[in-house]
Amino acid sequence: MRRAVAGLGAIAALAAVLAAPAAGAEHDPRIVGGEIAQPGAYPWAVSRSEAGTEGPAGHGCGGSLVSATMVLTAAHCVGGITPDDVDAVVGRDRLDDAADGERVDVTRYALHPGQFDLALLELGTPVSQPPVGLATLAEAALFAPGETATAIGWGLRSENGSAPSNDLRQVDVPIVGDADCRSAYRGFARIQPSSSICAGSAGHDTCSGDSGGPLFVHDASGTPLQVGVTSFGRGCARARFPGVYMEVPAALDFVTDPDPVFAPIPERRLAKVRGTSRVGEPLTCDEGAWAGEDIKFRYRWFGGFRPAPVGREREFTPGEGLAGKRVNCEVLAHNEGGFVPLVSLPVRVHGNG
């Protein structure tokens, strides 16, 4: 994924299920108009990859190492999945070079509890690569409008590209002022200056597959400092639309939190329908056992071919209209750190005669 003006889809889905207001924005991620990074230049670069899948085919999003056991990425890259679904590939320049860098299990993840498209991935094993430096608000002059920043990632090299880059790539992009960015996206997305940085120009941008990756500047000594996380944009490298990045200095409390609230983790991968599947007999949506803090659950039942839910409680009693049809339940577990949906296998409802 990239900065997808389709990218905050998972978070928007949660908002819809929880009946919370959602801000619309398409999301698509990438590196366009850049060049291949020098080998070893960015040992803290991370590929959030499909578990067990090597090479570009497994790459989904970017990220950055912020401590020996924590990766910073975009919330829309992980919201709604379980840690078993993804690995973190750290310190690898070419995605097909399995001998380079480290591939580590992700044990838990935490989404930013506010309006930032940010997430932290906890690694099962500490890695040897050094973390990236993080800019602070006191260093705002380094990422002021007109300054140049650098984005890196394995995303598409053009808006119509079909596959992630095998090589880690970099591109220099100019920082765009808040007013100009809001004007560009008026009617397409809501830009929040307090949480975002805009950067890019015609022909130079991130693209699909770069979501979650870092935007950074250099201090007076040449040390890279991360200032942004690739979030979304309209198209890739279009003249009117710079990329939108979550501002890291404005969210340092979350990024450096040693004990964030992590998303729920299910003991099993399916919900289960319990009870006698017969008209007039109550069924229960069994969510199973979960690990996590302050978990709450929402339930939905679906029956026949109706796209809309036929029930929204943990218990559901099918009526005559569902006789002979299949029903299944969906449970959404959520807390401050994230959300995970589970769906049951369908069961057939038997009639009374």
Q: Which listed residue (47, 196, 208, 211) is catalytic?
A: 211
Give the C-alpha separation, 260 to 66, whole Å. 14
**DSSP per position, 272-329:** EEES--BTTS-EEEE---EESSS-EEEEEEEETT-SS-SB-SSEE---GGGTTSEEEE
Among the options 117, 167, 210, 286, which is catalytic? Answer: 117
Residues 282 and 239 in one domain: no
Same domain, 140 and 19: yes
CATH number at residue 329: 2.60.40.10
Q: 295 with 180, same domain? A: no
Pair (270, 225) in one structural domain: no
Active site residue 211: yes
Residue-wise pLDDT for 60-112, tens only, equals: 899 999 999 999 999 999 989 999 999 999 999 999 998 899 999 999 999 99
- Predicted local distance difference test score (pLDDT) of residue 282: 97
Residue 144 and residue 249: Cα distance in Å, rounded?
A: 13
Write the CATH number for 161. 2.40.10.10
If asked whether residues 51 and 157 sit together in one domain, one would say yes
Domain count, the chain: 2
Residue 106 and residue 223 in one domain: yes
Could you say which residues of the chain have pLDDT below 70?
1-33, 158-162, 353
Q: Is 4 part of any domain?
A: no
**Residue among 27, 76, 112, 334 flagged as catalytic:** 76
* pLDDT value of residue 33: 66
For the chain, the first-to-last Cα distance in angstroms comes to 51
Query: Is 76 assigned a catalytic role?
Result: yes
Predicted model pTM: 0.88
Does 165 share its domain with 246?
Answer: yes
Give pLDDT tens digits for 20-64: 333 333 443 446 667 899 999 999 999 999 998 888 888 989 999
Residues 310, 203 share a domain: no
